[in-house]
């Protein structure tokens, strides 16, 4: 067995830097493939294929207008990642520092 498919889930999909660049480029707006190609500096087939992966994991939605296809980011698709990362929040942020302070205080209480 080899590595998991990039289309397996969102975590695999955003593993590729080009895909992240594409998402960054689209941002909160809506862009046609040609516009993305012009901005990110990848070839058109390359962009199309990455968009396909992003589509399959639900990270982008697409609507056709004439011969153009406009892509927009589906923010909700990123929530699983945010949720997962947040479970480790206590390991880095100030809330943890405060928790740490609290524990130190409790320890001092105990030592008295």
**One residue of 29, 52, 86, 100 binding DNA per CB under 7 A:** 52
Of 11 and 96, which has the nearer Cβ to DNA? Answer: 11
The site for its own copies (CB under 8 A) is made up of 3-4, 6, 8-9, 11-12, 14-17, 20, 23-24, 28, 73-76, 78-79, 81-82, 84-92, 96
- Count of CB atoms within 10 A of residue 73's CB? 21
Q: Give the nearer residue to DNA in terms of CB position, either 8 or 104.
A: 8
The answer to whether residue 47 forms part of the interface with DNA (CB under 7 A) is: yes
Nearest 5°: phi and psi at 69? -125, 120
Residue 79 contact among DNA, its own copies, none, beta carbon within 5 to 8 Å by kind: its own copies
Q: What is the DSSP string of 38-106?
A: HHH---HHHHHHHHHHHHHTTSEEEEEETTEEEEEE-GGGGHHHHHHHHTTGGGTSHHHHHHHHHHHHH
């Amino acid at each position: 067995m080899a590595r998991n498919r990039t289309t397996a889930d969102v975590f695999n999909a955003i593993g590729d830097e080009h895909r992240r660049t594409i998402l960054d480029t689209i941002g909160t707006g809506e862009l046609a493939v040609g516009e993305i190609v012009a901005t990110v500096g990848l070839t058109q087939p390359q962009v199309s294929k990455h968009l396909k992966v992003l589509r399959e994991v639900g990270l982008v939605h697409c609507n056709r207008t004439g011969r153009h296809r406009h892509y927009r980011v589906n923010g909700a698709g990123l929530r699983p990642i945010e949720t997962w990362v947040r479970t480790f929040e206590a390991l880095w942020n100030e809330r943890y520092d405060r928790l740490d302070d609290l524990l130190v205080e409790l320890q001092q209480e105990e030592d008295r």
